Structure 1
Amino acid sequence: MASMNPKTRLDDEKRNVPPAIRKLLEYDVKLTKSFVAFLLNLTPMRSFRTHCIFLEYSCHGVVWLAGWLAFCWIADNKDLYQMQVNMIVGLIIDIIFVAIIKAATRRRRPAVNTDIFGIGPDKFSFPSGHASRAFFVLGFFTILSPLPWFLWPPMFAWAFSVALSRLILIRHHILDVLAGVLLGLFDVLVLSVVWFGPEFSAWIMRSISEDNVPGGPESA
C-alpha cells in the first residue's frame, strides 16, 4: 500500500484520471497504510481487530435486507408499518447509490484486501458500502424514526466501529470510508424527502401480506 499497485495505476490511466486526483489517491493510499499501521501498534486496536469480521457481517447489505424483510414478516404490527417500509426504501436507495458510484469510479480495493464479498460492484473500493449503510441506519434511528435516547450511544459506537473496521481489515482506504459516511448521511436526507406516510406504508404492507394472497382471509 506504500504506492499504487501497477494494475490500479493502469486502470487510472485508462480512465484518464486527472493528475491532481491521481496524486490525491496516491496520498490516500500512503496515509491509509500509515494510519492502519499506527492503529495496529495499539494493544486495544489489535484486540478490536478480532471483532471486525463480526462487524462486517453486521452491516452487510444482504444481511440487512434479508433480516429486515424477516422482521417485517415476523413483527406484523400496524404501528411499525411506516418505519418498516421506509427502512426498506432507504436500504434500497443506499445500495443503488453505492453501486452507481462504484461503477463510475471503479477504484480498486487495497492490494492486500481479501474481501470475501468482492464480487460485482463490491470488488471496487469507493465508496465504502458498509460505512454508508452504518451511518444511514444510525441517521434513520436517531433522526427519521428515533429510537429511545438510551439506545443512541450503542448505535453511535456500532456505526463508528463499522467504519473503523473497514480500515483495520484493509477493505478500504480512508477516502472510501469518509465518502461512505457522507453518502449514508445523504441517504438520510433523500429518504426524508421521499418519506412514505402511514397510510401508504400500511397499503404497501397489506398488499404483500397473506391477507391478499389467493385463499387468504380477504379472498374468502
Structure 2
Amino acid sequence: MAEKTKREIPSALKRTLDFDVKLTKDFLDAVKDKFPLQNYRHHYKFLEISCHGVPWLAFTIFGLYTFDKPELFTNLLVALLLDIVIVAVTKAFTRRRRPAYNVNDMFMSMSVDKFSFPSGHATRAILAAVFFIKLYPLSGILFLPLVGWSLAVCVSRVLLGRHHILDVVGGIVIGLLEAFVMNQLWLSDSSARYIIQALGGEDPWSSA
C-alpha cells in the first residue's frame, strides 16, 4: 500500500506560521520574565471553562425549556451550533498542531481539539460578546464586563499555551463573521416560538 504523502505547505504560509510560533514563544517568555505566570494558571483555567462549548450548550438548552425567552435561547443555540460546526471543519482542514509546550489538561476535549487553528474559545468569546451587546442587547452596565471577559479569554488561550497568537487572531475574526451571519439569520420571537413548538410538539412554557 502506498504511503500517505505529507501535505505540502506553501513556503509563504510556512514562513508565516514559523514567525507566529516564534512570536508566541517570545511573548510568553517576556510575560514570564515580568510575572509569575504559573501562579495564575488556575485563573486561565477558569476562563477556559467559562467559555467551553459544553456548559454554554447545557445552559442554552436548559434556558430554552425553562424560561419564556424563545428569541434569546433559540438564536443563542443556533449561534453556538454554527460556531461548533465552523470551528470543527476549519480545524479538521487546517490541522495545525498546538504549541509543543501545551499541557494536555483541557476541560472535556474532543477529537478535533488536538488541532490549534482557530481558537474555538476565541470564536465563542467574541461571538457571545457581540451577541449580548449588539444582537440581543443586555443591560448597558454589562458592556464592559462582556468586553473584558471576551478579551481575557482570548489572551488566556496564549498564556495557557493552548494556542499560538495567529490561532487567537483567526478565532476573533471568525467570531465576528459568525456574529454577522447570525445578524442575517436572526429569528424573531414569533418564529422562534413556532420552531420550538413544531420540534417539541407542545408549548414548553405552558402552565397546563
Residues 32-55 of structure 1: CA distance to partner in whole angstroms, max 9, x if unpaired? 001112123333866543301011
Matches within 5 A, 1:179-194: 179-194=170-185
SS of equivalent to 1:14: coil
Aligned to 1:99: 88
Compared with structure 1, are the counterparts of its residues 119 and 209 closer, same or farther at alpha carbon in structure 2 (3 Å cutoff)? closer
TM-score, normalised relative to structure 1: 0.84
Q: Does residue 1:205 correspond to 2:196, yes or no?
A: yes
Task: Give distance in 1, aligned partners of 2:145 and 2:73.
Answer: 21
Structure 1: which amino acid aligns with 2:159? I
Q: Does residue 1:173 correspond to 2:164, yes or no?
A: yes
Aligned to 1:32: 24
8 Å contact from structure 2 (residues 196, 203) kept in 1: no
Aligned residues: 201
Task: Give distance in 2, aligned partners of 1:147 and 1:138.
Answer: 10
Which has the higher mean CA deviation after the structures are superposed, 20-29 or 44-53?
44-53
Compared with structure 1, are the counterparts of its residues 127 and 143 closer, same or farther at alpha carbon in structure 2 (3 Å cutoff)? same
Residues 7-45 of structure 1: CA distance to partner in whole angstroms, max 9, x if unpaired? xxxx9x821110111111111001000111212333386
SS of equivalent to 2:92: helix
Q: Does residue 1:59 correspond to 2:51, yes or no?
A: yes
Query: Which of the numbers 152, 155, 160 marks the counterpart of 2:143?
Result: 152
Structure 2: which amino acid aligns with 1:42? K
Q: Does residue 1:85 correspond to 2:74, yes or no?
A: yes
Unaligned 5+ runs, structure 1: 1-10
Alpha-carbon RMSD across the aligned residues, in angstroms, is 2.2
Q: Does residue 1:21 correspond to 2:7, yes or no?
A: no
Structure 2: which amino acid aligns with 1:143? K
SS of equivalent to 1:69: helix
SS of equivalent to 1:51: helix
Q: How many angstroms does 1:199 deviate by?
A: 1.3
Query: Which of the numbers 112, 117, 123 marks the counterpart of 2:101?
Result: 112
Task: Give distance in 1, aligned partners of 2:147 and 2:22.
Answer: 28
Unaligned 5+ runs, structure 2: none
Task: Give distance in 2, aligned partners of 1:104 and 1:70.
Answer: 32
Q: Which has the higher contact order (CA 8 A, sep 6+)?
A: 2
Structure 1: which amino acid aligns with 2:66? I
Aligned to 1:8: none
Percentage of pairs with the same residue:
40
Task: Give distance in 1, aligned partners of 2:109 and 2:24.
Answer: 20
Structure 2: which amino acid aligns with 1:95? I
Task: Give distance in 2, aligned partners of 1:147 and 1:212.
Answer: 25
Task: Give distance in 2, aligned partners of 1:64 and 1:41.
Answer: 35
Aligned to 1:42: 34
Task: Give distance in 2, aligned partners of 1:83 and 1:67.
Answer: 12
Residues 95-150 of structure 1: CA distance to partner in whole angstroms, max 9, x if unpaired? 11101110110000111212334431111000000000000000001111111111
Residues 166-189 of structure 1: CA distance to partner in whole angstroms, max 9, x if unpaired? 001100000000000111111000
Structure 2: which amino acid aligns with 1:145? Y
Aligned to 1:131: 122
